[in-house]
Copies of this chain bind each other. A is one copy, B any other.
Amino acid sequence: MRGDESRRAVLARAVDAATVDGLDGLTIGRLADASGHSKSGIATLFGSKEQLQLAVVAAAREVFIDRVVAPARARTPRGLVRVCALLGDWLAYSRDRVFRGGCFFAATSVEFDAKPGVVRDAIVAASSEWEDYLTVSIEYAMAAGELPLLDDARQLTFEMVSFLEAANTRSLLHASEEPYRRAEAALRARLVSLGGGDPELIATIGAAPAA
């Protein structure tokens, strides 16, 4: 389909716009103007606004995997090193403003948390996929004896994503890098308290991301 190329170009703009104006704030008319198509061209490309929103969530999921999961997975072995790489890459993905409004899922999961429907379901599925991956990564570290004082990987996942998302929102809200330093300090302190405090390793959380 030749429409595939157009879809991709429109989706790239749409994901970015959704982090600023929300997924419900997307309009077919504005996307049309921004991408040089007619309004009905966009409508035909996606079928309906809801289908557009679902396509945007799927596109955002791919960017997230590309920027966070895949790099950490490619350059680190299982265990605490990978957990630290995932955290560092998440922070870089937020800090580097891959999207103008920061993390796509931080923005849209709050937007849709009280709006039942297939769009929320898709956001929940993608978010859960990420958190499940982080949990499994923590479990590998536990199995390797790298977090001797931890007994519940899901609890640590909750705490870690709490820090990541709070840093994302607050850095945007205050136009400041300080929240990222707060999150890094919180993550490091928590790892240390769980017995996983290899200083060289936890320093990588705040290091520059791999290219």
Q: List residues of A whose CB falls within 8 A of some B CB.
A: 19-22, 24-25, 100-102, 106-107, 109-115, 120, 123-124, 127, 154-155, 158-159, 161-163, 165-166, 169-170, 172-174, 179, 182-183, 185-186, 189, 193
Task: Identify which of B101, B158, B163 contacts A113 (C-beta below 8 A).
Answer: B101
- By the criterion CB–CB under 8 Å, are B158 and A114 in contact? no
- By the criterion CB–CB under 8 Å, are A20 and B115 in contact? yes
A112 — which chain B residues lie within 8 A by C-beta?
173
Give CA–CA (A162, B186) in the complex, Å: 10
Closest-by-CB residue of B relative to A159 is B186
In the complex this chain forms, how many copies of it are found? 2
- By the criterion CB–CB under 8 Å, are B172 and A113 in contact? yes
Give CA–CA (A123, B158) in the complex, Å: 26
Known A-B contacts: A20-B115, A101-B114, A107-B110. Give 18 more (CB < 8 A).
Answer: A20-B114, A22-B22, A100-B114, A102-B114, A107-B114, A109-B169, A111-B111, A113-B172, A124-B174, A154-B182, A155-B185, A158-B166, A158-B182, A159-B163, A161-B166, A162-B162, A162-B166, A166-B166
A170 — which chain B residues lie within 8 A by C-beta?
158
Give CA–CA (A19, B123) in the complex, Å: 18
Give CA–CA (A115, B182) in the complex, Å: 23
Contacts known (A158-B179, A166-B161); A113 close to B102, Cβ less than 8 A: yes
Give CA–CA (A106, B107) in the complex, Å: 11
- By the criterion CB–CB under 8 Å, are B173 and A124 in contact? yes
Give CA–CA (A88, B154) in the complex, Å: 22
Task: Identify which of B20, B21, B163 contacts A162 (C-beta below 8 A).
Answer: B163
